[in-house]
Structure 1
Amino acid sequence: MLAKEGQPLMPCHPARARELLRKGRAVVARHAPFTIRLKDRTRAQSDVDGVQLRIDPGSKGTGLALTDVKEESDSHGVSPARRGLISLELQHRGDQIRTCMDQRAGYRRRRRSAKRRYRAPRSLNRSHAPGWLPPSLRHRVDTTFSLAKRLCRYAPVTEIHVERASFDTHSLSTGKRLTGASYERGTLAGTSARAHLRSLWNNACAYCGASGVPLNVEHLRPRCRGGSNRISNLVLACVPCNNAKGSMPVESFLADRPTLLAKILRQVTAPLTDAAVMNTTGWQLMSALATLDRPVLPWPSRLTAENRKAMGLAKTHTLDALSVGPLEHEAGGRIVRLPSHVLVVRATGRGSYARTTPDRYGFPRLLRTRAKQHFGYITGDLVRAVVPTGKWAGRWTGRISVRARGQHSLGTPDGRFNVSHLHLRLLQRGDGYGYGTRPEGSRRIPRKNG
């Protein structure tokens, strides 16, 4: 909720917001996240205690929650009670960015190897600015910071609490905790990967058991499908088996031999992609949030898990965000209220920079239009459609995909259909995100004993 001059006020209940809109005392400032602006009250006329923004960063998604703390009395006296006001779940698209970049790199490699004009590869001595991150990781930091900045604009945030998790990838890769020289030098110190694989697979092909033949180092999960060079992703394979498998996943190649597949998969350990993402982006996110001119307090993930289990909450990003920071169980601190619904914010991007549509070999074949706006609308705009006749007659609200002929495609919960631009009214410009809601996973709050 915003004051008359646009400054943030304390969030209100949805029923209170509907009442203010019905009486004409407020107007809609933004639809997602839903924000109203009062027409008859300034910030000086309001009591603003402030709220806390709590963030639970993740590799695939991030949870954010706005909370406040009130003193409540019970049989043990007065104790602090944390109330959840608003919960948001931000869904990243880092995997999509990585897939697109791998596809583009594949196009470049194919063009260089084809019988065309030779194009020398670029040198590998290019330097990066301090703090540089790959685009798929930079996206996670930027989108989380952007949403946090937006919440600080619409709510009186006084503190930012962030879960700071770090993962020991060395111990995760070996399945056991390493100490001393083993941690510093690694488990394969003094040997080579090929020698280790020869001893592991008895100097024979892992797929057919052939020995005494030339053996190649084979990736269980191919590099083109996201596989790494970790020792747990490598096996020895003879030349015929290596050629027959090609770029197939090992699950498809050994689908008719489940016993052998299970034996090989026992070697594979959990991937470290998500752990590496969290280790890489953690401090970058903290540095970005510090520019919002609000105290940024990091808290260990262990504390979040303890608070969530003590309150009997389910394991979700939003409930983890609600549990970030100390609850002061000794003083009777607890979580007394959860938001009934979560605003799901999905990063969709603002379209593609590509001006041509490539074929499967990476060569341009179709020319894309340079205009993104047609008849005053762009893809991703939130609109309200009033369809006078036909199968879809009625009032509809949703996001559109624009068409040059003026018949835009409108997506609604009941389906997608084409509607003329003459029947549309703009509610909110597309900002690179898609919005939806879902019920919160758990609302069970245990009462204090006694």
Structure 2
Amino acid sequence: MSSVFLLDTTKKPLNPVHPGEARRLLSQGKAAVWRRFPFTIILKTEVVEPVVHPLRLKLDPGSRTTGIALVNDASGQVVFAAELSHRGQAIKASLDDRRVVRRSRRRRKARYRQARWQNRRVPKGWLPPSLFSRIANVLTWVKRLSRLCAITAMSMELVRFDMQLMENPEITGVEYQQGTLMGFEVREYLLEKWGRTCAYCGATDRPLQVEHIHPRANGGTNRISNLTLACEKCNTAKGAQDIRVFLKKKPSVLETILAQARHPLKDAAAVNATRWTLLDRLKVTGVPVETGSGGLTKFNRSQRKMAKTHWGDAACVGKSTPEVLKIDQIHPLLIRATGHGRRQMCVTDKFGFPKQHKGRKGTYLGYRTGDIVKAVTPKGTFQGRIAIRYRPSFILGKIDIHPKYMRRLHRVDGYEYRYGRSA
């Protein structure tokens, strides 16, 4: 079972406890709920000289999702697991929308001004907001978990995608392709890109082969946009046929494959651009940081016969991975970054015309939009996130609730939470 974080009376972290022990402490009045996500309780009485076991925080950084795991190196127990979904794409879309609005306004309401986009210097180590948000999200959770448990070491997967090799496997010559590492980078990328499934039949429980969408016999290349994964049966059946002929009875599958084949390499580029910056930021914390390759993570996972998940990969990062990982009944916390609201003062319709003015205040009667509350009303009990109004009538789901019936369970903090399936 996923453990519950425990704090002493001075808010110092103790050893995480079993959920049953946490329920006993809460029912006997010896502890109180400190945080809902991740679930943390705080003792009401002092503990005499507690023995705190050190934990290792393990990270598997990704472009869209980062795996997080807390592992006890001595016992092999996975204490906590989470998957953090980033919002880099949403930030990029918001910046694009803002740029369009500003350019439109300048053309409408100002005289022509010569472009001055080269009058600013980029500081050393600068990253675009869409990339830096990924680093900020990971650092936020490293700090939060450091306050909830005794983290004495960290492990991080320092993966690297060779962009030129993925675009053209023959860029360094045929001899390199025939070496010991033949096709390793390309195959790892294809496994991630195609979700470790056969592109033609969707099979996941059998060995997959690298397959050319446009056959080499008909002039196809080894570029990454022309490669996919197929099981042996589908690969043999397709042979040197054109994909449109092979999938003429499956138009939806054909459309999906052609669209996915043109998917850009921006996810791999995002990981390459942020990996060293994240490592440097983790070292600043003063906790020893171990790095491991993607190949080592895959080897550790296969040796322990674990399913492919983000938090499972995180638990297998680095040489420090215990021989036996105890992951029974682990329910990963699924975290999705949502941001802290927006500063847009005027809401526009789909045509760009103003339709609503937003107030400057973010709180009302002590509540903020996004707070998780429990409301006990004469009509029943309701629980969820609220949207405030600047009058004593808040929105909870599809109903209006007066604040006098509400009790806050969790303050909005820029993330949404839910629990995934057990291992």
- Find the aligned partners of 2:363 and 2:8 in 1 and give their Cα distance: 33
Identity %: 39
> Are positions 1:334 and 2:304 aligned together?
no
Which 5+ residue runs of structure 2 have no aligned equivalent?
A: 1-5, 177-222, 227-250
Partner residue, 1:129 = 123
Q: TM-score, normalised by structure 2?
A: 0.75
Aligned to 1:4, what secondary structure does the other structure show?
coil
Q: 1:32 is matched with which residue?
A: 37
Cα–Cα, structure 1 residues 17 and 57, in superposed 2: closer, same or farther, change >3 Å? same
Q: How does 1:279-428 map to 2 (within 5 A)?
A: 279-326=272-319, 333-360=323-350, 362=352, 364-389=354-379, 393-394=380-381, 396-411=382-397, 416-428=398-410
User: AA paired with 1:92?
Assistant: H
2:65 aligned with 1:61: yes
Partners of 1:83 and 1:338 within 8 A in 2: no
Q: Which amino acid aligns with 1:8?
A: P
**Secondary structure at 1:439's aligned position in 2?**
coil
Report the counterpart of residue 216 of structure 2 in structure 1: none
**Partner of residue 438, structure 1:** 420
SS in 2 for 1:9: coil
Q: Which of 92, 98, 102 is the aligned partner of 1:98?
A: 92
Whole-Å separation in 1 of the counterparts to 2:224 and 2:140: 38
Distance 1:341 1:409 in 2: 30
Q: Report Cα offsets for 1:154-181 as digits up to 9, x if no partner.
A: 010010111110110111122x142279
Q: Any conservation in 1 of the 2:73–2:320 contact (CA below 8 Å)?
A: no
RMSD: 2.9
**1:316-342 deviation line (CA, Å, top 9, x unaligned):** 11111111122678xxx1213345211
> How many residue pairs end up in the alignment?
346
**In structure 1, what is the Cα distance between the partners aligned to 2:344 and 2:260?**
42
When residues 49 and 283 of structure 1 are mapped into structure 2, their CA distance, relative to the original with a 3 A threshold, is: same
Q: Which runs of 5+ in 1 are unaligned?
A: 71-80, 184-229, 234-257, 444-450
Relative distance call for 1:111 and 1:361 in structure 2 (3 A) is: farther
User: How far apart are 1:115 and its partner, in Å?
Assistant: 8.5
**Cα distance, 1:24–1:267 mapped onto 2, change above 3 Å:** closer
Q: Is residue 164 of structure 1 aligned with residue 158 of structure 2?
A: yes
Bigger Rg, structure 1 or 2: 1
Aligned residues of 1:28 and 1:35 also touching (Cα < 8 A)? yes
| Structure with the larger strand share | 1
**CA–CA distance in 2 between the matches of 1:344 and 1:267?**
26
Aligned partners of 2:56 and 2:71 also within 8 Å = yes
Kindly provide the CA deviation profile for residues 409-449 of structure 1, in whole angstroms up to 9, marking residues without a partner as x.
224xxxx4321111111222211111111113xx3xxxxxx
How high is the TM-score relative to the length of structure 1?
A: 0.71
The one of 69, 82, 89 equivalent to 1:88 is 82
Q: Deviations over 1:322-376 (max 9, x none)?
A: 11122678xxx12133452111111111110111123445464532111111222
Alpha-carbon separation, structure 2, partners of 1:351 and 1:367: 15
Secondary structure of 1:335's counterpart equals coil
